[in-house]
């Protein structure tokens, strides 16, 4: 059993216990005490110029965080940063290919240099090669493991000391529905995503004493740039959505709520979990 060292735990704000309270407490006090806000926090989201990472970064920016938006396509990251700034938010754009393992240290340092700290890390960026595992070149497999698994480990390694110093932190690792299935045509990808679940659990136990929560958010089938060939027309998207229990393909904005829950004080007692945001696809 993991033993928390109470002397190292900062005391979180107690929530009003309505039922146990002798004095009548307004039911609205709960919402006031559990704000879905991240004012003053600094977030770094990788692969976030588009799609799920972008929706999460936007939600955090709207809820008061300064955000570092990383993407290999610096133009899309810059365009989003301009949009956030024009609406009064604070943001920077960071470039680079996530399969370059020198990047995590550099980008964490740049985030801290420009935005002052790093409190929230969204390990979102990932590449995905499909093909027979019997024929996939070793270099291609290695690149995926570097980008999708080693990269998030290193980003966390460099970000965590900044979180520990403040005794507060949030890490969200983006997994996939593929971490539960067995898909021989995307072996390095699904293995990396499956490993994210264990990585999340291990880190959650290790970092709990510093009030750093670590969770994995696993998307189902989402209409994003990487899947643009699957959803060429509205009709095709609707048709494919019929295979999902909730009756539709996911959209990036479906990830805004989970980002706010896990990164704000509202989620401060959730750690080590994998949460599927998949319209019910994994529920069988
Ligand atoms: N879309 C889905 O259906 C789905 C399903 C399961 C899991 N996921 C996971 O969700 C995360 C986000 O996926 P998405 O669908 O939002 O992606 P997306 O394709 O919409 O956007 C990904 C962004 O990452 C950038 N990028 C690509 N390669 C990069 C690299 N090597 N270095 C840096 N940036 C790079 C792209 O330029 C793009 O802007 C990924 O971890 C993915 O594995 C997505």
Quote the number of domains for the chain. Answer: 1
Q: Which atom of ligand 1 is nearest to the CA of 148?
A: 41
**Residue range 256-284: average pLDDT?**
96
* pLDDT beyond 70 at 24: no
**Residue range 101-114: average pLDDT?**
98
Ligand 1 pocket mutation, candidates 128, 129, 179, 219, criterion most atoms within 8 A of CB: 219
Specify whether the CB–CB gap between 263 and 57 falls below 8 A: no
**Residue range 197-226: average pLDDT?**
98
| pTM > 0.75: yes or no | yes
- The pLDDT, as a whole number, for residue 54 is 98
Indicate which CATH number applies to the domain containing 134: 3.40.50.720
**Angle (nearest 5°) at CA 50 between 96 and 220:** 115
Residue 263 covered by a domain: yes
Interval 180-193: pLDDT, tens: 988 899 999 999 99
On the CB side of 160, how many CA atoms lie within 13 Å of its CA? 18
Interval 48-91: pLDDT, tens: 999 999 999 999 999 999 999 999 999 999 999 999 999 999 99
* pLDDT beyond 80 at 23: no
Distance 227 CA to ligand 1 centre (A): 9
Q: Which residues surround ligand 1 with Cβ inside 6 Å?
A: 47, 49-53, 71-73, 76, 97-99, 124-127, 147, 174, 176-177, 219, 221-222, 224-227
From the list 64, 120, 158, 111, the residue with the least C-alpha distance to 267 is 120
Residue 204 covered by a domain: yes
User: Read out DSSP for 12-71?
Assistant: PPPPP-TTT-SS---THHHHHHS----TT-EEEETT-SSHHHHHHHHHHHHTT-EEEEE-
From the list 9, 80, 6, the residue with the least C-alpha distance to 47 is 80
Residue 5 covered by a domain: no
**Angle (nearest 5°) at CA 78 between 77 and 84:** 90
Residue 18 covered by a domain: no
- The pLDDT, as a whole number, for residue 183 is 86
Boundaries of domain holding 65: 31-277
Ligand 1 pocket mutation, candidates 44, 48, 49, 52, criterion most atoms within 8 A of CB: 52
Distance 201 CA to ligand 1 centre (A): 22
Among the ranges given (11-25, 39-53, 155-169), the one the predictor scored with the smallest mean pLDDT = 11-25
Residue 17 covered by a domain: no
């Amino acid at each position: 059993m993991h033993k928390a060292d109470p002397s190292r735990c900062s005391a979180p704000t107690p929530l009003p216990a309505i039922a146990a309270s002798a004095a009548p407490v307004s039911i609205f006090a709960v919402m006031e005490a559990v704000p879905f806000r991240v004012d003053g926090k600094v977030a770094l989201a990788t692969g976030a110029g588009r799609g799920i990472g972008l929706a999460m970064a936007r939600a955090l920016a709207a809820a008061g965080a300064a955000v570092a938006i990383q993407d290999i396509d610096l133009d899309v990251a810059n365009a989003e940063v301009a949009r956030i700034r024009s609406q009064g938010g604070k943001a920077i754009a960071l470039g680079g290919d996530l399969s370059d393992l020198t990047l995590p240290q550099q980008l964490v340092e740049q985030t801290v240099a420009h935005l002052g700290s790093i409190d929230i890390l969204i390990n979102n960026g990932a590449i995905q090669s499909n093909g027979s595992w019997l024929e996939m070149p070793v270099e291609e497999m290695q690149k995926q493991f570097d980008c999708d698994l080693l990269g998030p480990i290193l980003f966390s390694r460099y970000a965590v000391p900044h979180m520990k110093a403040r005794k507060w932190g949030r890490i969200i690792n983006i997994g996939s529905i593929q971490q539960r299935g067995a898909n021989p045509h995307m072996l390095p990808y699904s293995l990396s995503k499956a490993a994210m679940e264990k990585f999340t659990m291990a880190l959650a136990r290790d970092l709990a004493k510093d009030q750093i929560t670590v969770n994995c958010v696993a998307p189902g089938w989402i209409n994003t740039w990487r899947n643009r060939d699957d959803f060429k027309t509205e009709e095709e998207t609707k048709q494919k959505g019929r295979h999902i229990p909730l009756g539709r393909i996911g959209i990036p904005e479906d990830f805004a709520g989970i980002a706010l829950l896990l990164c704000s004080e509202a989620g401060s007692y959730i750690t080590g979990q994998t949460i599927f945001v998949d319209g019910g696809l994994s529920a069988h």
